[in-house]
Structure 1
Amino acid sequence: MLALCLGGSAITAAHAASPDATTKNITSPSSAEWPSFGRDYNNQRFAPSTQISTGNVKDLTKAWTFKSGVNASFQATPIVVDGVMYLSLPYDHVVALDAKTGAQLWRYEHDRRKDWQMCCGPANRGVAVGNGKVFIGTVDSRLIALDAKTGKVVWDINAVDAAVLTEGQESLDQDDPNSHKKTSGGTGIGISMAPVVYKGKVIVGITGVGYGLHIDNPRADAPLGAVIGVTGRYGRPGFLAAFDVNTGKRVWQFDTIPAKGWEGTFTPTTSDGVNLNRDLDNEKATFAQYQDAWRFGGGSAWTTPAIDTQRGLLFFGIGNPSPQMNDISRPGDNLYTVSLVALDVETGKLRWHYQQVPHDVWGYDLASPPVLFDWVHDGKHIPAVGQAGKTGWYYVNDRLTGKLLMKSEAFVPQHNLFAKATTEGVTLYPGILGGSNWSPSAIDQTKQRAYVAGIHAPIKYTLHEAPPKDGNPGIRYASSEPADEPRWGVLSSIDLSNGKIAWQQKIEQPMVGGVLITAGGLLFTGEGNGNFDAFDAANGDLLWQSKNDAGVNAPPISYEIDGVQYIAVAAGGNSIFGYKAGDSLVVYALPETTVAK
């Protein structure tokens, strides 16, 4: 559903007084730096360095390794500015390292709010650097500014003051096996995305507001067990907000669930005509009972926005509605969940939205970050925004209007797509894991290619109804859990001119972490088994591989110092996928003898 709304260089202390110095550095970064989450505001994750190439990548070796001492899911994108690497660790600690040697320059230890329940695990996806500060959003919903030279706290604010009601196992019938199993999270509020700095503002969003109750798998090396969407009034609307870089004062806030109009038009299909199997008569009949459902609507903001600096537009993806997978108490389209949204970057006002999946009951968050590029079609260059969906399609929308320009071939297998949960359980794919999860995709705009780390993970969706007793009609909920079927990863190159798959590589395990493309013709990505790989971006051939002790489930970056190109990536695993935890940041370079040739 498309809606239009009207109106709607090194970073040093010397630059601190000028917000445009930071903005300029991120708009046009040098090959020596990786100054923002997606390298620049476009989020293309394309590095212009050519020193490491298809011809010599076989010689790539470890230059240095930093051990953080924190063994947990490690998803951060390192930021490199003026020879310093700034790295967020699980549980929101931050270190500054010499980007050439790995020597620690300072370390910030985060002290979490004691009264704040962590909703969604300890992972943090990175910091933002600008105006002489390092900014981090935390699992306890704070936004903190650190002095970039010392790591000392400059300011520390609560992005959210009050916690929310979270579903618990006491909501389940006591005869339900899930009521006695260990859990690892539930609906709540945290911040996992890397912020972005733009014209004196630091922009970040909250997550976890429609997370659902996560049941642990009894095996540590196995993927997460069931995710449960319990009927009830849990959570709140998510938001994306901008804060003043110098004071932390809130400049604007966009709530991901509108107080009016959240029900939408009760559309029976996706905007491109795929049937959603909705019971619209029942939804309309029950709407009067649930007119305040927006107050608990969900809609997390999981990953860093992209910004069109020329047009003053910001683009970000919104997560699933709340309760997750359970739609009894939320009739309607549940705007703006599972939507790509464009805002005025100066005011936070809505310009347009494109809802990929209205009334989502599968967990199809827009998790992978949006990417800005010029889409070439019939000889015309059209400003576009791309996004790798959990649904398994790569979407390309007009940047100015939100119109869908192209939807790719499926980059992962699809089966029973949009089937509703049943009491017997129905298996479909892609499901709640994706498709493409939070992993950033990359784009080579010149070649009109998108590169996506994908997941094939069949998911069983089950509807649970407890028998009525003692006047209680029974608790009803929906769950998703991995089906007893093979799982694997899919690395894809997508031809943006026509949406066709240019090449694919099947990977042993589901892929989560993201990709890096370089002008040297290489694609770098990691695997859950500890492999860190380099592929030929032209044809998908594996050219090089390095083995690590933990899962490599974070996005790689490229930077240069003293004429040497480095590739850096975190190796710390991912608990949701059962990948081995670790605490390493690993940096690679060519030997001096190879560089000298």
Structure 2
Amino acid sequence: MSKSKLSLFFCAILTILVTIVGCEPHTKEVAKHNTWSQYGGSPDQSKFFESPGITKSNVAQMKVLWNYPSGDDRFYFFSPIIVDSTMYVLGKNSSLIAIHAKTGEELWIHTDLPGITRRGINYWESEDKKDKRLLFTLNNSIQAIDADTGKSILDFGAEGYVDLREGLDRDPTSVTRIQSMMPGVIYDDLLILGSAPGEAYFSPPGHIRAYNVVTGKLEWIFHTIPHPGEYGYETWPKNAYKYVGGTNVWSEISVDTERGIAYLPIGSPTYDYYGADRLGSNLFANSLVAVDARTGERIWHYQTVHHDLWDYDLSPAPQLLTVAKDGKKIDAVAIATKHGFVFVFDRVTGKPLFPIEEKPFPKSEMAGEESWPTQPITSLPRFTRQQVTKENLNPFFSDSLRQDWLQRLDSAKSGLYVPPSDTYETIMMPGALGGANYGNTAADPRNGIMYIQTQEYASTYRLNKVEPPKRELTANDVDKVKSLYGSTCIACHGPNMEGGAGPSLKNLGHHMFYEEFRNTVINGKGVMPGLVHVDEASLKALFQFLGGDPERRNFRRGEQQAQPVEGPVVASGGASIPVDAQRGAPMEDYPEDVEHPEIRYTTDYGLDWPGLIDPPWSSILAYDLNSGKIKWRRPIGIDSLYVQGDETKGAPNGTQRKGMVVTSTGIVFATAKGGKVYAFDAENGKVLWETTLSHETNAQPSMFTLDGKEYLVINATSNFRSDSYDHSKKPGAIPKGYVVYGIPERK
């Protein structure tokens, strides 16, 4: 073959390969795992780290080397990132702080950032390293701070911020909540960002967007609820994009940087438990979607739940691994789910690597509802139980409580994909907080092993009609609010609202505006989960019950001063946003030109019975995706349960808000309830090292190398729950803050 023909031949092959991948050629290297400058370690979210210095033979020597106190009594879910010798943390009255990663010395402090992304930030630097930026969301905006100086970059966006409420098929002034609690992911000069718009009726849509990290310009948008003419539009009612919300990525987006493919784990559409106004399979809800990271164009997708009625979001990070199957090495992407399944696909084509079968499930009996007749069931082993039965009830229940539950199960329905109803109780296993959740997956990308943290937590549901909002509290309203408080708040805030594990709520409404209250309840705070399914009327009634006036507006919010912060303060408050002049009422009804059901239904999370079945409730497991088998499984965390008469309280939240780090030397570091930190042998699950923090952790741990030495960083800034021992009261307890572990130098 001549040189010219050979050249044409290779050009043709390159064109074919680019067409198959669905992306433009890309020269970026494969994601490296020797730094922790991104949440999850690297853009692939594997939580994998090259750590030659900490091995199975010396990990038992790990000690606290230094700690950085967070500086106040708040909870921080923040996951530190480390760039060169600088660590970035959140503390001191919601301040972003740069500290030296070896000593904890404060380098700069940017104070007064309440509303900043709760779980982490993004870092970007130019090729010449002259421009270094920290990017984050703050009060529904994107902002940038100079990573070296700590000062706001005011030529980013419009006067230092980008308004995230724009471009969402809604009146921007009606969008009260859109920013995600998670950081986005950096790809080249793009910040790819999800959202957390809420899961109530008429919440904004969770379209995925990418912004230029230097200018703040919106570069692309992927409509998770398709517009007319777009792929998947026919899987919804006509004009559903005008009123359906959610369908968002509120957790971790993974990127194959070599191929330029972003993998989106998309969540449920609104409303989660009743979908009469969104009949159809509802693409791209509950789907793993592969898009061109440069353009946002869809490459392939797979929907793991059709017409979701169970809040089975795809919340953990998709894991990018290389697996050995049928004598071949295949680059794969795997996703674990809330309801205990693992789906594995060819990373480029989307072809399932293990069989998936559509199987029939019960039909909804709700008026106007049309549940999807089948659901996809993978051939891989399930990693959670999926039904509450008389045989697996909690053996620690008192005799009278057990009898109550035996009778309750006779009239209730439990099992996979049982549709919620207003005539009977549905007991879902796992429920809204069960299975694998955000932060609960990690991988060794080289050998096809995925690690999953999971919890066995049922939810109990019964649908109720959505009542029109009332301005004045009636006696019936008060009873409902007391019931809501008793089922969701009393454990932490006490029977008289005087506090306990959580703060006192006495006269809360007198010193808090409704907007702040609403965001706190919906987003959650500390160990309190977000109550995203409480309707607006109930939220306002609860606020009134606590002494507040929902109509009182905070017109001077931007002028309020935070408590003084000591240290090298370089700036305060971020970029100034004139938000008060742009706020309107949230969307509360369907557009006039849209057909819709006359009656809507709602329910709460149904989290009253966390210890409903027999333990263990929280586990970590190694899933071998080469063979399709669970390699090992171990219980983790302090899952306590105590009985007082007929009142039983359990707490299987052993993996909620926890995380892992997987090392190249075959160690899996994992955090769990009760301040527990483990080092497991990645091969067999043997515990190699174990310690207990002085405070609870609710964040992803991080790892870094400095001057040839490896360090493990854990955010320990939360209070222990009332059913855990309070280790902060022990002599020598470390103050709330960021704890750095390593192997001490030999003397």
Q: Which range, TM-score by smaller chain?
A: 0.7 to 0.9
> Structure 2 stretches of 5 or more lacking a match?
1-18, 355-377, 388-414, 469-596, 640-651, 729-734
Query: Aligned pair 1:554/2:736, yes or no?
Result: no
Indicate the residue corresponding to 2:737 in structure 1. 584
Indicate the residue corresponding to 1:135 in structure 2. 134
Distance 1:62 1:7, change over 3 A: closer
Distance 1:90 1:538, change over 3 A: farther
Indicate the residue corresponding to 1:179 in structure 2. none
1:147 CA displacement: 0.6
Distance 1:56 1:575, change over 3 A: closer
Distance 1:111 1:125, change over 3 A: closer
2 CA distance for matches of 1:455 and 1:61? 28
Query: Aligned pair 1:570/2:558, yes or no?
Result: no
Contact 2:436 2:453 in 1 (8 A): yes
Bigger Cα displacement from structure 2, 82-91 vs 421-430: 82-91
Indicate the residue corresponding to 2:199 in structure 1. 211
Indicate the residue corresponding to 1:492 in structure 2. 621
Distance 1:262 1:159, change over 3 A: farther
Distance 1:576 1:235, change over 3 A: farther
1:294 CA displacement: 5.0
Matching residue within 313, 316, 334 for 1:386: 334
Match of 1:58, SS?
A: helix
Indicate the residue corresponding to 2:161 in structure 1. 157
Contact 1:210 1:300 in 2 (8 A): no
Query: Aligned pair 1:463/2:463, yes or no?
Result: yes
Distance 1:466 1:137, change over 3 A: closer
2 CA distance for matches of 1:413 and 1:235? 31
Contact 1:89 1:124 in 2 (8 A): no
Q: Identity percentage over the alignment?
A: 30
Matching residue within 308, 312, 321 for 1:360: 308
Contact 1:91 1:122 in 2 (8 A): no
Matching residue within 57, 60, 63 for 1:55: 57
Name the TM-score, length of structure 1 as normaliser. 0.77
1:323-338 matched pairs, under 5 angstroms: 323-338=271-286
Matching residue within 579, 600, 603 for 1:478: 603
1:151 CA displacement: 0.8
Name the TM-score, length of structure 2 as normaliser. 0.62
1 CA distance for matches of 2:723 and 2:275? 29
2 CA distance for matches of 1:235 and 1:165? 12
For residue 211 of structure 1, what is the amino acid of its counterpart? E
For residue 382 of structure 2, what is the amino acid of its counterpart? A
Contact 2:36 2:704 in 1 (8 A): yes
1:122 CA displacement: 7.0
Distance 1:479 1:76, change over 3 A: same
Query: Aligned pair 1:410/2:369, yes or no?
Result: no
1:537 CA displacement: 1.5
Contact 2:210 2:221 in 1 (8 A): yes
Contact 2:67 2:737 in 1 (8 A): yes
Contact 2:227 2:233 in 1 (8 A): no
Match of 1:545, SS?
A: strand
Match of 2:438, SS?
A: coil
2 CA distance for matches of 1:240 and 1:466? 30
Contact 1:142 1:158 in 2 (8 A): yes
Contact 1:37 1:43 in 2 (8 A): yes
Indicate the residue corresponding to 2:249 in structure 1. 301
Indicate the residue corresponding to 2:110 in structure 1. 108
Contact 2:289 2:298 in 1 (8 A): yes
Distance 1:411 1:198, change over 3 A: same
1:507-518 matched pairs, under 5 angstroms: 507=636, 508=639, 509=652, 510-512=654-656, 513-518=658-663
Match of 2:623, SS?
A: strand
Distance 1:141 1:149, change over 3 A: same
Contact 1:90 1:124 in 2 (8 A): no
1:149-298 matched pairs, under 5 angstroms: 149-154=148-153, 155=156, 156-161=160-165, 188-207=177-196, 209-212=197-200, 232=201, 234-260=202-228, 291-293=239-241, 295-298=243-246
Contact 2:226 2:233 in 1 (8 A): no
Matching residue within 594, 617, 631 for 1:502: 631
Indicate the residue corresponding to 1:97 in structure 2. 99
Determine which structure has the larger strand proportion and give its number. Answer: 1
> Structure 1 stretches of 5 or more lacking a match?
9-19, 113-117, 167-185, 213-231, 267-286
Contact 1:263 1:332 in 2 (8 A): no
Question: Cα deviations across residues 411-434 of structure 1 (Å, max 9, x unaligned)?
Answer: 222221111113331112112113
Query: Aligned pair 1:320/2:288, yes or no?
Result: no
Query: Aligned pair 1:444/2:449, yes or no?
Result: no
Distance 1:303 1:473, change over 3 A: closer
For residue 634 of structure 2, what is the amino acid of its counterpart? Q
2 CA distance for matches of 1:301 and 1:362? 17
Distance 1:59 1:235, change over 3 A: same
2 CA distance for matches of 1:55 and 1:129? 36
1 CA distance for matches of 2:605 and 2:92? 26
Match of 2:332, SS?
A: strand
Bigger Cα displacement from structure 2, 239-248 vs 361-370: 239-248
1:337 CA displacement: 1.1
Contact 1:262 1:332 in 2 (8 A): no
Larger Rg: 2
Indicate the residue corresponding to 1:223 in structure 2. none
2 CA distance for matches of 1:336 and 1:358? 9
1:520 CA displacement: 2.5
Contact 2:254 2:318 in 1 (8 A): yes
Query: Aligned pair 1:124/2:145, yes or no?
Result: no
Distance 1:323 1:165, change over 3 A: farther
Distance 1:149 1:466, change over 3 A: closer
Question: Cα deviations across residues 168-216 of structure 1 (Å, max 9, x unaligned)?
Answer: xxxxxxxxxxxxxxxxxx9831222222222222222221x2434xxxx
For residue 59 of structure 1, what is the amino acid of its counterpart? Q
Contact 1:370 1:385 in 2 (8 A): yes
For residue 240 of structure 1, what is the amino acid of its counterpart? I
Distance 1:578 1:259, change over 3 A: farther
Bigger Cα displacement from structure 2, 504-513 vs 187-196: 187-196
For residue 741 of structure 2, what is the amino acid of its counterpart? Y
Question: Cα deviations across residues 458-493 of structure 1 (Å, max 9, x unaligned)?
Answer: 11121124799xxx9876323331253147211111
For residue 585 of structure 1, what is the amino acid of its counterpart? Y
Distance 1:466 1:250, change over 3 A: closer
2 CA distance for matches of 1:519 and 1:335? 38
1:576 CA displacement: 11
For residue 253 of structure 2, what is the amino acid of its counterpart? P
Indicate the residue corresponding to 1:12 in structure 2. none
2 CA distance for matches of 1:90 and 1:161? 28
Match of 1:298, SS?
A: coil
Match of 2:97, SS?
A: strand
1:77 CA displacement: 2.8
1:35 CA displacement: 2.1
Match of 1:28, SS?
A: coil
